[in-house]
Amino acid sequence: MDVLTENFSLYGKGFLGTVELTVYASLLALVLGFLMASFRVAPVGSFRVFGTVWVTVLRNTPLTLLFFAVLLGLPRFGLVLPFEVFAVLALGCYTSAFICEALRSGINTVPKGQGEAARSLGMSFGQTLGTVVLPQAFRSVIPPIGSTLIALAKNSAIAGAFSVNELLGTYKTLNELGYSIIWTFVWIAVGYLIITLSISALFNVLEKRYGVAR
């Protein structure tokens, strides 16, 4: 317990850093994932191509490489932002590809007749997608989206290698201070467990309330 009690503020700072990264990157991933899923089922060919390229590139790019590209590459083009913002961009964009595919799979479960019926009533593609298709699709994709955001929380550990304040990065300071590396990682693991279980509990509530009855 000495590792935790004597360095509670350090752990707390790292824990809050991971929570902030997870929350902001999750919001970005959900927005971009929704947008890309809309593109992938849009009647406009150029939108479908853009969405397909976005998903294909990001899903097949190692996250560490994406961090290098964003945190070290963008400043070379004159875009200078705090490393925390770059980390959110990297995590959010990467995860959006998986959110997109989860949403698209849910959209494909909605009977085509419902979309056709909505269009026959004069509804536009955006209205059909937003008011008819997506509300039904969301009910079936709550569990995979929850799993994806849990993975995002764990992936945020990569940000520590790029001078971003997060939970895993606390081990460097504690190791330099001579604390037991085993107990250092035990308490780091507990912190991640709290975050992931909280996300899991949230999505369990959403699934019970809005999920498809089985």
Tell me the pLDDT of the chain (214 aa) as tens digits.
Answer: 666 666 667 778 888 989 999 999 999 999 999 999 888 888 888 989 999 999 999 999 999 999 988 888 888 888 888 888 999 999 999 999 999 999 888 887 777 776 667 777 777 777 777 777 777 778 788 889 999 999 999 999 888 878 788 887 777 777 666 667 787 788 888 889 999 999 999 999 988 887 655 5
Nearest to 100 by CA among 142, 43, 44, 39: 39
Q: What letter would DSSP give residue 7? A: T
Compute the distance between CA of residue 140 and CA of residue 211 in angstroms, rounded to an integer: 6
Compute the distance between CA of residue 112 and CA of residue 138 in angstroms, rounded to an integer: 16
pTM: 0.86
H/E run at residue 93: helix 83-109
Q: What letter would DSSP give residue 212? A: P
Is 6 strand, coil or helix? coil
Q: Within a 10 A sphere around the Cβ of 142, how many other Cβ atoms? A: 21
Q: What letter would DSSP give residue 122? A: T
Phi then psi for residue 29, to 5 deg, are: -65, -40
HSE value, Cβ hemisphere, 13 Å, CA-based, for 16:
5
Going by C-beta distance under 8 Å and a sequence separation of 6 or more, which residues neighbour residue 27?
92
- Residue 132, phi-psi category: left (phi > 0), alpha (psi -120 to 50), beta (remainder): alpha
CA dihedral 65, 67, 70, 73 (to 10 degrees): -60
Residue 170: its pLDDT value, please?
79
